[in-house]
A and B are shown apart, each in its own frame.
Chain A
Amino acid sequence: MNNYSVKNVLKKNTMIIVMFIVYIFFAVMTHGNIFYASQFTALITQNAYVFVLGTGMLMCMLTGGNIDLSVGSFVCFIGAIAGVFSVLKNVNTPLSLLIVLGVGILYGVLLGYLIAYLNIPPWIATLAGYLAFRGAGTEILTKVSTTSAISDFPEPLLKMFSGRVFETSSGVLNIPCLAVGVAAIVLVVVNNYRSRNAKFKKGYETEPMGYVHAKSILEAGIIGLLTFKFAMDGGIPVVLIWVVAIMLIYNFICEKTVIGRHFMTVGGNAETARLSGINNKVVMFVAYLNMSILTVIASLMVTARFKAANSFAGQNFEMDAISACIVGGVSAYGGSGTVFGMAIGAALIGIINLGMSLMGIDQNWQKVVKGGVLLAAVVFDIWTKKNSGKK
């Protein structure tokens, strides 16, 4: 039993390896186009919402494979609300943000109440939301505009959710970006060695030193590459900050806090959780409230990216978020899954989409491939669990 044999390390990180293979595949197929700095930015800006919604979906799925089908429609609805207030009614940006956040919380409370306290199956409650918010969002937008879209969002709002930090023109090395990158590398590497040392001192099982070296080099390399690419393309995209912040926060919640443990337990065995003093209803309630709040953030990101609120915004977003979770190894039955895994899933799907677009494969085949990837991921998950005899 060596947890750190090459074989086991590879096994543990299957999805990361798959991601690299897929990436290399597209690098070859697109003759290196996917390697351009601008494509790195595109990968992040186009898929930022998947990371955010995927995080929310992860929290729902942890509680027992529950999902939220209404996120796509709600993205559209929130976009419309934001447009109405900040553009048409000229409400200032902070107040507009408070309003949409308020709407998000309101919906989250309602949804959480229906699901947690009235025992309505989640996919039905959210299916109703899926229908109703698509209708409501479209209705608002068609009422107020002939093009069923609201544009001309105020600059401060756009800047909060799109563009770049300390933007420089493309091709010029962006210094702040580099600085942040270097800081991140130092932090990650130092943390790797420190945590290993701490474990060693307390006499716990530790990774071999070679593993820590390899891990640090690899992580530093990836961060370095990303930093360089972003620096060459005008700087760090604002949404990247949001995504990284959300990932870090939720990773912390899931891995290190009592709340995270409660989520895992409710999904692992609801009855055990209840008898261990956990209030399952509160956990379910929080999962859906949290989902709605993250949906608001995702909606603002999407609105800012298109610089407009559209009636078709958010279509199939629920599918993207669910796929990211499933591909990232989150159990479809609940109880297991990590933020990091979900992020890998989201990145993998993003790379596939981007790669196929660059290869000129049309949208429709992309859908077919998405469906196939989703199914393959679940089947893979079920089979590996069966073989390891854990299920």
Chain B
Amino acid sequence: MGSKVSGFLKKYMMLIALVAVVIFFNFATGGKALYPQNITNLIAQNAYVFVLATGMLLCILTGGNIDLAVGSVVCFAGGVGAIMMDKNIPWPVAVVTMLVMGLLIGMWQGFWIAFVKVPPFIATLAGMLAFRGLSNVVMGGFAYSVTDTTYLNVFGGGADCYIPDFLAGVGPATSLNKFCLVTGIVFAIAIVVYTIFNRSYLRKHDYKLQPLFTEILKTVIICAAIVWLFYKLSCYKGIPTAFIWIGFILGIFAYITTKTTLGRNLYAVGGNEKATRLSGINTKMVMFKAYTLMGLLAGFAGVLNTARFVGAQPTYGTGYEMDAIAACFIGGASAYGGTGSIGGVIIGALMMGVINQGMDIMGTSSNYKLIVKGLVLMFAVFFDVIMKVRRKGGAKA
């Protein structure tokens, strides 16, 4: 039973910590941290953290493996995309190119790691150097700006990267973005409806049910959080398009990790590689897929990043791998693999985002930000290790 209590604590500790950090910054900035504009920016600025951390989670699950090359890949893919658009190639072609590049890079690294057994940190270290160099080469040291407004609006850059208020003319006149607000409310209702249906489905099939009180409490908290978030967004300019993309990516990968065999296999490989192999699973292929998906997501982060910065520069993406890795560990992924979740990634990425932004608003120098990030990472891993007292190799029964 002791493990259950610690399991509960581990699961919600970081959420509690996140709330504490938000409250701290809210006081420290005199309430500015929770201004609608800042909440909007928090999401838009940290879109890449969410996307990269999702990919990094897949790699970490397979046994604490990481990808150090993602920052360089974001820069490389973004750079190529920006150059293409600069040469008046239509933006959909550029986007597809960026994604395909990410995918190919992922496959390249995955090949060495999974099939040749090159240690991941070395293979991706090589990638980190090589793709940073290549970005410089293709951009020739110059910055490219992107002017295609459709591209910018769709992927969360420029001034108008928000879902327009389709309901502006309906109902009473207000400064709020009504579409955004309504979306939030619809979302909350959908969750409530789903919960009710799911419960009755479970009851019908005699499956185990959660206690009613816990379920109601959980649903209320989630719905309140959603409505609050969308209210804040509607106070500014509405739903940022980047937010849609984040939701989309997180949704897909939450599904993959919890509901598909690939997801299962990722956890299994990290939990006990030999046992997984003996269960008839091709563990090399699992590893290969993890890095391939990581590459694809890095390509997509390149798309978002290029839009966000309205262009590309050879220095973009530096240190992104650290943000992604830190977000995973803060979100409770084990440094030895086998445990971690998309929910955790969200919390971890938000934590990194809140710290980034809170310190920005407080006017702290970027150097302190690095120091704090380092300490937060240390703390998160420390916590993980302490909670788990899991020694490598373990003792035999």
Contact of B122 among A138, A142, A322 (CB under 8 A): A322
Which residues from B are CB-within-8-Å of A333?
119
B374 and A374 within 8 A (CB): no
- Confirm or deny: B44 has a beta carbon within 8 angstroms of a beta carbon on chain A: no
- Confirm or deny: B117 has a beta carbon within 8 angstroms of a beta carbon on chain A: yes
A132 and B118 within 8 A (CB): no
Of residues 283 through 330 on chain B, the ones whose CB sits less than 8 Å from some CB of chain A are 314, 319, 322, 325, 329
Q: Name the residue of chain B whose CB is nearest to the CB of A374.
A: B126
Size bracket, chain B contacts? 35 or more
Contact A270:B116 (CB < 8 A) given known A119-B385, A120-B385, A124-B335: no
Min Cβ gap B114→A in Å is 13
Contact of A378 among B122, B135, B373, B375 (CB under 8 A): B122
- Per-position contact with B for A40-78: 1 when CB-CB < 8 Å, else 0? 000000000000000000000000010100000000000
Q: Which of B116, B122, B141, B365 has the most CB of A within 10 A?
A: B122
Which residues from A are CB-within-8-Å of B123?
375, 378
Min Cβ gap A4→B in Å is 32
Contact of A367 among B117, B136, B329, B378 (CB under 8 A): B136
Q: What separation, in Å, do the CA atoms of A378 and B382 have in the docked complex?
A: 31
Contact A382:B118 (CB < 8 A) given known A124-B381, A130-B322, A367-B130: yes
Which residues from B are CB-within-8-Å of A362?
136-137
Min Cβ gap A338→B in Å is 19
Q: Name the residue of chain B whose CB is nearest to the CB of A64.
A: B392
Of residues 167 through 193 on chain B, the ones whose CB sits less than 8 Å from some CB of chain A are none
Which residues from B are CB-within-8-Å of A142?
365, 367
Q: Which of A366, A368, A374, A375 has the most CB of B within 10 A?
A: A375
Q: What separation, in Å, do the CA atoms of A131 and B381 have in the docked complex?
A: 15
Q: What separation, in Å, do the CA atoms of A3 and B60 have in the docked complex?
A: 44
- Confirm or deny: B204 has a beta carbon within 8 angstroms of a beta carbon on chain A: no
Q: Which of B127, B133, B372 has the most CB of A within 10 A?
A: B133
Which residues from B are CB-within-8-Å of A129?
374
- Confirm or deny: B245 has a beta carbon within 8 angstroms of a beta carbon on chain A: no
Report the interface size for chain A: residues with CB under 8 A from the other chain. Answer: 47
Which residues from B are CB-within-8-Å of A319?
125, 128-129
A128 and B374 within 8 A (CB): yes
Which residues from A are CB-within-8-Å of B136?
362-364, 367
Interface of B is mostly: helix
Of residues 332 through 363 on chain A, the ones whose CB sits less than 8 Å from some CB of chain B are 332-333, 362-363
- Confirm or deny: B393 has a beta carbon within 8 angstroms of a beta carbon on chain A: yes
Which residues from B are CB-within-8-Å of A127?
322, 325, 374, 377
Q: What separation, in Å, do the CA atoms of A65 and B120 have in the docked complex?
A: 12
B329 and A124 within 8 A (CB): yes
A365 and B370 within 8 A (CB): no
Contact of B119 among A139, A270, A332, A364 (CB under 8 A): A332
B385 and A118 within 8 A (CB): yes
Q: Name the residue of chain A whose CB is nearest to the CB of B325.
A: A127
**Ordered nearest first, which 5 A-B pairs have the shortest CB separation?**
A135-B370, A367-B133, A371-B130, A132-B374, A364-B136
Told that A131-B373, A135-B366, A368-B134 touch, could you supply 9 new A-B pairs with CB distance under 8 A? Answer: A120-B382, A131-B370, A134-B370, A322-B122, A364-B136, A365-B137, A375-B118, A378-B123, A382-B118
Q: Which residues of B contact A (CB under 8 A)?
A: 64, 66, 112, 116-119, 121-123, 125-137, 141, 314, 319, 322, 325, 329, 335-336, 365-375, 377-378, 381-382, 385-386, 391-393
A-B contact pairs, 24 of them (CB 8 A): A119-B385, A119-B392, A120-B378, A121-B64, A127-B325, A127-B377, A131-B377, A135-B370, A135-B371, A135-B374, A138-B367, A138-B370, A139-B365, A142-B365, A319-B129, A362-B137, A363-B136, A367-B132, A368-B134, A371-B126, A374-B125, A374-B126, A375-B122, A378-B126
